Amino acid sequence: IGDGASAGSYGYTNSGYSVYEEENERLTESLRTKVSAIKSLSIEIGTEVKNQNKMLSEMDNDFDSAGGLLGATMGRLRTLSRGSQTKLLCYMMLFALFVFFVIYWIIKLR
C-alpha cells in the first residue's frame, strides 16, 4: 500500500511538474519576446537621441552665428543712429536760426 501510494503520488507529482514546466516555458518565451521588443525599442530610442543631439548641436551653431551677425548689425545701427541724430539736431538748429532771422527781418521792416 505504501509503495502504491508512493507511486501514485510520484506519477501525479510528475504530471504537475510538467504542467508547471510547460507554463514556465511559455512564460519564459513570452518574457523573451517582450525583452527583445524592449531591446529593439531602446536601440531605436538611442539612435533617435543621437540624431536629435546632432541636430541640436547644429542649431546651436547656427544660432551662435546668427547672434554674432545680429550683434554686428545692431552695432552698426547704433553708430548710424548716433550720427543721424547729430545731423538732425544740426539741421533743426539751422532751421530755427533761419526762422528767427526771417521773423526778425519781418519785424524790422515794419
Which pLDDT tens digit goes with each residue over 49-108? 999 999 999 999 988 888 888 888 888 777 766 766 777 778 889 999 999 999 999 998
**Domain membership of residue 74 as a residue range:** 14-83
What's the number of CA atoms in the CB half-sphere (13 Å) around residue 25? Answer: 6
Determine the pLDDT at residue 78: 79
Q: Does residue 39 belong to any structural domain of this protein?
A: yes
Q: What angle do CA 90, 93, 97 make, to 5 degrees?
A: 140
Q: Does residue 57 belong to any structural domain of this protein?
A: yes
Amino acid at 35: V
Determine the pLDDT at residue 35: 96
What's the number of CA atoms in the CB half-sphere (13 Å) around residue 30? Answer: 6
Q: Does residue 89 belong to any structural domain of this protein?
A: no
Name the domain count of the chain: 1
Q: Give per-residue pLDDT as tens, 25-43.
A: 999 999 999 999 999 999 9
Q: How far apart are CA 105 and CA 103, in angstroms?
A: 5
Q: Does residue 95 belong to any structural domain of this protein?
A: no
Q: Does residue 33 belong to any structural domain of this protein?
A: yes
Sign of the C-alpha dihedral computed for residues 78, 82, 87 and 91 taken in this order: positive
The pLDDT confidence band at residue 14, using thresholds 50, 70 and 90, is low
> What are the percentages of helix, strand and coil residues in the chain, rounded to 5?
100, 0, 0
Determine the pLDDT at residue 97: 95
Q: Does residue 61 belong to any structural domain of this protein?
A: yes
Q: Does residue 110 belong to any structural domain of this protein?
A: no
Q: Does residue 105 belong to any structural domain of this protein?
A: no
